[in-house]
Amino acid sequence: MPANKKLLILPGDGIGPEVMNEVRRVIEWMDRRRHVSFDIQEDLVGGAAIDARGMAITPATVERARAVDAVLFGAVGGPQWDSLGFAKRPELAILTLRKELGLFANLRPATVLEPLIGASTLKPEVISGLDLMIVRESTGGIYFGEPRGVDTLPDGSKRGYNTEVYTTHEIERIARVAFDLARKRQRRVCSVEKANVMETGLLWRQTVADLHARDYADVELSHMYADNCAMQLVRNPRQFDVIVSTNLFGDLLSDLASMLTGSLGMLPSATLGVPDSSGRRHALYEPIHGSAPDIAGKGIANPMAQMLSFAMLLRYSFDMEEDAAMIEGACTRVLASGLRTADVMAPGCAKVSTHVMGEAVVRELDKLAA
Name the residues annotated as catalytic: 143, 194, 227, 251, 255
**SS3 annotation, the chain:** CCCCEEEEEEEECCCHHHHHHHHHHHHHHHHHHHCCCEEEEECCCCHHHHHHHCCCCCHHHHHHHHHCCEEEEEECCCHHHHHHCCCCCCCHHHHHHHHHCCCCEEEEEEECCHHHHHHCCCCHHHHCCCEEEEEEECCCHHHCCCCCEEEECCCCCEEEECCCCCCHHHHHHHHHHHHHHHHCCCCEEEEEECCCCCHHHHHHHHHHHHHHHHHCCCCEEEEEEHHHHHHHHHHCHHHCCEEEECHHHHHHHHHHHHHHCCCHHHCEEEEECCCCCCCCCCEEEEECCCCCCCCCCCCCCCCHHHHHHHHHHHHHHHCCHHHHHHHHHHHHHHHHCCEECHHHCCCCCEECCHHHHHHHHHHHHHHHHC
Name the residue nearer to ligand NAD (CB basis): 145 or 293.
Answer: 293
Name the residue nearer to ligand NAD (CB basis): 256 or 369.
Answer: 256
Q: Which of 293, 337, 368, 369 binds ligand NAD (CB under 6 A)?
A: 293
Name the residue nearer to ligand NAD (CB basis): 76 or 219.
Answer: 76
CB atoms within 10 A of CB 348: 6
Stretch that binds ligand NAD, among 69-77, 165-173, 197-205, 359-367 (CB under 6 A): 69-77
Q: Is 145 in the site for ligand NAD (CB under 6 A)?
A: no
Backbone φ, ψ for residue 105 (5° rounding): -120, 110
Stretch that binds ligand NAD, among 73-81, 168-176, 223-231, 358-366 (CB under 6 A): 73-81
Cβ 74 to ligand NAD shortest distance, Å: 7
Cβ 47 to ligand NAD shortest distance, Å: 8
Stretch that binds ligand NAD, among 211-219, 220-228, 250-258, 284-292 (CB under 6 A): 284-292
Q: Is 269 in the site for ligand NAD (CB under 6 A)?
A: no
Name the residue nearer to ligand NAD (CB basis): 110 or 182.
Answer: 110
Backbone φ, ψ for residue 341 (5° rounding): -80, 165
Q: Which of 106, 291, 309, 317 binds ligand NAD (CB under 6 A)?
A: 291
Q: Is 265 in the site for ligand NAD (CB under 6 A)?
A: yes
Name the residue nearer to ligand NAD (CB basis): 14 or 140.
Answer: 14
Backbone CA torsion sign across 236, 237, 239, 244:
positive
Q: What are 269's strand-pairing partners?
A: 286
Name the residue nearer to ligand NAD (CB basis): 194 or 289.
Answer: 289
Q: Is 302 in the site for ligand NAD (CB under 6 A)?
A: yes
Q: Report CA 44 to chain centroid distance, whole Å.
A: 20
Residues that contact ligand NAD, how many (by CB under 6 A): 23
Q: Is 94 in the site for ligand NAD (CB under 6 A)?
A: yes
Q: Is 264 in the site for ligand NAD (CB under 6 A)?
A: yes
Name the residue nearer to ligand NAD (CB basis): 9 or 208.
Answer: 9
205-234: which residues touch ligand NAD (CB under 6 A)? none
Q: Is 122 in the site for ligand NAD (CB under 6 A)?
A: no
Cα–Cα dist 127/111, whole Å: 9
Q: Which of 292, 352, 360, 365 binds ligand NAD (CB under 6 A)?
A: 292
Q: Which of 31, 42, 91, 180 binds ligand NAD (CB under 6 A)?
A: 91
341-360: which residues touch ligand NAD (CB under 6 A)? 341, 343
Cα–Cα dist 57/74, whole Å: 14
Q: Is 76 in the site for ligand NAD (CB under 6 A)?
A: yes
Stretch that binds ligand NAD, among 54-62, 233-241, 270-278, 297-305 (CB under 6 A): 297-305
Q: Is 78 in the site for ligand NAD (CB under 6 A)?
A: yes
CB atoms within 10 A of CB 366: 13
* Binding region for ligand NAD (CB under 6 A): 15, 19, 75-78, 91, 94, 264-265, 286, 289-295, 301-302, 305, 341, 343
